[in-house]
Amino acid sequence: MTTLTCQTCHDPLIIPIEPDSDVEEQPACSSSSSSPQTVPDDLLLPCGCHFHWQCFLDLASTIYSSLRCPSCNAYLPSESAGSSSKPTNPQILTTYTNEGGVQPSLDLYPTLQEEAYLAANPSSRPARAFQSFASEGDVQGMVSVLRSLIEPDSDSEDDSNTPKLTPAEVLTYRDPLNNDKTALHLAIENRQEEAVWALLWLGSGAPTELFPPAVPAAAVGLGLPRRLEQGPIPVEEDVRFVRDGEGRTAGDLCLEIGEGWEKLVQGGLFMS
């Protein structure tokens, strides 16, 4: 039986994994003790070509511009298959098998779009990571991103020639791949109250007395500075007043969502 291999590196469609330290050691006589553990890593494209996940993403910029398989040159989107022009909202439906099982009908286009964008705009990686943490309500993760910009890790493999965003730029970053939303828009959309207060504390000029007492106390514990103490914040740099692709501020979004979020606006938190 022929073993399937990656069309890029030509290795089998598996990847090695580190042994689980929690698993009891195998007896010395066990044949499995000398064999490296592996898991499947098989990305099957609509054209029938197979790739490792990372091997495919390493070619993201080229694939995104052509929407064609890097091996057989087949057109990948499931709609308008015969079209030579790029469709508005293409789908590239794949089947990905990894240690978690089989993911059928996985649309790879958003991932390609993101990887191509980050390859062209590497300085945006921290901002997108920050937004991901904000949407999940992970304040510790948000803080770690900001600290990495203030105190870069000397062991980091990041290219020192890559322009770096400032913490203020990360706080007000508008994601072009997500309707120009900021971290505050995403935190509100996902009802992540703790992240919302952290963002307002870090990046707005809202009066301190409008914050619940628990917020300043938590901020002190996390070592989060109050930007207001550094002087007035220009409107265009205040997270409350940055507009998304639909022209909405975070306050507008609170009113749109309702569910109690409108009380933040009614309490004067979003007043300049």
Q: Which two tokens stand for residue 81?
A: 């298959």
From residue 174, how far is each of 57, 160, 205, 251 by CA, in Å? 24, 24, 19, 16
In CATH, the number for domain 1-16+37-79+88-120 is 3.30.40
Beta bridge partners, 102, equal: 97
The length of the chain in residues reads: 272
Q: Mean per-residue pLDDT for 233-256? A: 89
Q: Which two tokens stand for residue 6?
A: 């990656």
What was the pLDDT predicted at 9? 95
Residue ranges of the alpha helices (H) in the chain? 53-57, 60-66, 109-120, 125-136, 139-150, 167-171, 183-189, 193-203, 214-222, 250-257, 262-266
Under 8 Å CB-to-CB from 224, ≥6 apart: which residues? 143, 198, 201, 202
Tens digit of pLDDT for each residue in 23-67?
444 454 444 455 678 999 999 999 999 999 999 999 999 999 999
Given the candidates 3.40.1350, 1.25.40, 1.10.287, 2.30.30, the CATH classification of the domain at 122-152+164-267 is 1.25.40
Under 8 Å CB-to-CB from 125, ≥6 apart: which residues? 118
Q: What's the CA gap between 188 and 256, in Å, rounded?
A: 11
What was the pLDDT predicted at 224? 78
What was the pLDDT predicted at 236? 65
What was the pLDDT predicted at 152? 64
Output the pTM of the full model: 0.75
pLDDT level of residue 225 (50, 70, 90 thresholds): confident
Per-domain residue ranges for the chain? 1-16+37-79+88-120, 122-152+164-267
What was the pLDDT predicted at 89? 78
What was the pLDDT predicted at 237? 85
